[in-house]
Amino acid sequence: MSTVHLLRFDSPIGRIELLGDDEAITSLSIERDGALPHDDLPERPNALLQRARIQLDEYFAGRRNDFDLPVRPAGGTEFQRAVWAELARLHWGEATSYGALAAAVGRPGSARAIGGAVGANPVPILIGCHRVLASDGRITGYSGGAGIPTKLWLLGHEQIGFAA
């Protein structure tokens, strides 16, 4: 079994925690209420997590639009993994709707289930779940970091328009 690696660092949206093994990043958490999921564990960085930190720092500084990192989201059902794969197709500045995601994974009319899968994304930012809006362009929620304020920051950073 692979060694689990852990790295934490500061960002404009709060502290970030990366988990991964020797081959891929498996989790990215954004600080919520001053805490990260594994604050009680010592850091165990590796070259991949250090590379991810550099790319995320570049993203936050506006110098990177795409990530070149192996990502393997931890857990998830087959349905959730299909939704995450569709999210991974989105690029900087692109947005989609819950309904469009539902259609893309062959489950039209299941926007609520799509919302649950989007919210369960274990690798936000790298798999851009912040890029999902309601069909009328409204922001309906965000499970990372401080919630909607974090999503607003990410949308603004990528210059993605939304309805008020």
Q: Which residues are catalytic?
A: 129
- List the beta bridge partners of residue 32: 35
- HSE-CB at 94 with a 13 A cutoff on CA atoms is 13
* Residue whose tokens read 């500084």: 61
Residues whose CB falls within 8 Å of the CB of residue 106, separated by 6 or more in sequence, listed in order? none
The answer to whether the beta carbons of residues 53 and 10 sit under 8 Å apart is no
